Structure 1
Amino acid sequence: MKSGLYARLVLACAILLSVLLTGLGIVLGQFFPLFAGNTDLTIQHHYWLYLITVLVVAFLISLFVAARMMLQYAKPIDEITRIAVRIAEGDYLARTRMNGPEYDNELSIAINKIASNLQEMSLLRTMENERLKTLVESMGSGLLMFGRGGTVNLVNGVLEKTFGLSKKSIMGMTYKEIGLPPVVETLIDDVFMTEQVHESQVQLDGENSTAYVSVYGAPVIGRHGNWLGIVVVMHDITKLIRLEKVRKDFVANVSHELRTPVTSIKGFTETLLEGAMDDPAVMKMFLGIIQKESDRLHLLIDDLLALSGMESEGFTLQYATVDMKDVIDDALSAVSRNLEQKKMKTITNIPGHITIEGDIVRLVQVMVNLLTNAINYSSENKTITISVTDANERIRIEISDEGIGIEHLELPRLFERFYRVDRARSRDSGGTGLGLAIVKHLIESHNGTVDVESEIGVGTTFQIHLPKKQDY
């Protein structure tokens, strides 16, 4: 380590004093014979000893005084230099002392101010880096950044998960080496070549599913207009694509379901106006068909309005203590006419009075929809079994029929709007295709679940699980 300024100054001062005092001694020694040419040799020796002693003492005193003077000015500079070196090495907590007059100077104040400013800048930079890292990692989109040479220098976890990549393995690789889909590579090529923003939608086909990604590529331009690279953002739009498909299917289904009864009503009305009303029997038959289609249209509109109301933000349930026996009795009364028409009977298994917190009107609606479904898809003289079981904090309701059954492949889509296993039979039975969608929504609004099991030719069982107490 290099010696400090103070040590160097003391050494230089000592050498200078030594030279000066030695020269002074030599000069004084030359003058001695002029004043005492015949002086005794012993006295001369004493004189030389005295002269040397005086010069040595003068040297030491002068050196001490000079050292003390230099200590006030040079030693603080040495310490400030050490502090400056520590600051230059990144130790922004280092500070010079301010507890002495020799340290209370503009240089010490300036060094401390520089250290304080650098510390603040370091903290701000650390905070900004943490914020950027948090933002990059927490954003819902995949992020990939390339330098001017086309190599990866930034990637977040979402992109790793989307494409099955590892951050450690792809850092420093070019975009053509990391295994991106060809469409994405082409987009990156276009951004590099044109230095313009490019967007594209990419379909990613997996083993069990298909995902859709919106890819946005843009050049990264520095503060002074210099080219730094490009950034690629990939946002998963699979849900949006599926929702758009659901919306299109819904519009198509509603249009179809509305058009069918309207077409029938219009056709039979035109036939009556063209002369068929002259025949009372034909007119009665046609009016009956018109009434049936009008009822079906009315039921469809009611179900659409009901489902729309349930899915709105303002939809609430009127909770109260509900006896499940009352719910089932009310539902059976509502479908009693349909049961009589098909000569069907019901079996209920309810052990005592089982009560829950729920909306009795909505629960009756659920039971009516499920019972109507069971009646419509069963032949005459069949039996519907309804059972309620107490399962600690929850209850289980089962509605089993002896109907035609449902294929296992059809079960996952059974609760979709307008989905019908047998469209012709559903339409003949007067169903709207919304009943089970309403059931699912109302049960989930009660914080419950609904499942279905079915076997072709044997029948179908719907299972509902509901909590006894609701969390408000």
Structure 2
Amino acid sequence: MKISELIVQPLVIFFLVILPLGLLIGQPLALTFAAIVLYLLWSLRQVYRLASWLQQPGESEPPESHGLWGRIFDSILRLQAEHSKAQARLQALLNRIQQSTNALKDGVILTNSDGVMDWWNSAAADMLGLRKPNDTGQTIHYLVRDPSFKQYFFSKAYDDPLLLSAPKKPQMQLKVHITLFGEDDRLIVIQDVTQLKQLESVRQVFISNVSHELRTPLTVISGYLETLIDTGADLAPRRQRALSQMQTQARRMEALVTDLLLLSKIENEGGEIRQLPVNMHDLLLRILDSAKVVAGDKVLKISLAVESDARLYGNETQLHSAFSNLVLNAVKYTPEGKCIDIRWHLTKRHAVLSVTDTGIGIDSIHIPRLTERFYRADPSRHTGTGGTGLGLAIVKHVLLNHDARLDISSRPGEGSCFACLFPIERIREPEVALEVH
């Protein structure tokens, strides 16, 4: 029966039964009033039965009724059943998500914008020592009391992960990624990188040891080759050419060993290096002189612009290695007659050392990988330049030790710009720098 029919039904009963009966006994108004009061009382009773039914816990059968109220009871019962089914499906999906997340080796934590933890998986509990239900509703900063983590959490600068030690397992190294979602909530993913760090340490030690072991025999070989070349004027041209090629390759090997040792040293030192305010004008002048020596007979227009007398707080030896690598690379890859501009200047947020050339340029697909060890945008160039493939890797690690980053922009055939961006907090005015010394 339609809803409209259920509403019209009482009116039909009124006009066909109540009103004629009232006319028959001569009291139509009194009988009509009594009928309305009785209907209202009956409706109030149905409301009371509905309220009592809805307050009952769990699912129960609705009160027996008929007409419009019977339809209301049946409709509510049907909606309850549909709601229960939907809730069961959502709960099953939630359980499945939680089970699959608990199966992950990576820790997962959900927090609000203040760091209050809503949920975490078993891997996160193991890494951070979390316990349910004691830690539910606690702020994650209370449990992970590393200042760098709190700063990272509220910075919203999540492009790079954060490395830290596990709170209750100092030997465990963790990598933390944070993603914003919802209303400024956080999804925190934690990876155990202890084994990777150990492998990295073993690799560094291996490279350092091998490089040290190679240095002595290479020095001996180079010495004998130099002696043979100096005293071999009477040798056949073919033998002289062979000795010259051997000497060239020995020098390249020596350069590679030197760069490997330097890179290993920079990595091992990390941020624990002696740092002082560095006079950038003097440092860049020395690098400029070295660049002119390397250029030799190649005619290049190399300009230096030092637009600030401010000192850069850092390790001068490492900074010299990084900056000279950038400048010497520009000298190697810039054709004769072209320009190289070296510029030191300050912005509102950064201190910038940029090296801009008008050389052969680099395709954009290679730029993200240029700082990888031994990566070459064009391997064919290596033969002509004699590079080791470690220069930009050295630059990258030096900048990491100085809280800086390397920005690279380039177009094939138009040149490149390598810019070292240091945080402005590392700048010291000349007067202050003298006091620090």
Q: Which TM-score bucket, shorter chain as reference?
A: 0.3 to 0.5
Q: Which one has the largest radius of gyration? A: 1
Q: TM-score, normalised to structure 1's length?
A: 0.43
TM-score, normalised on structure 2?
0.46
The higher-RCO structure (CA 8 Å, 6+ apart) is 2
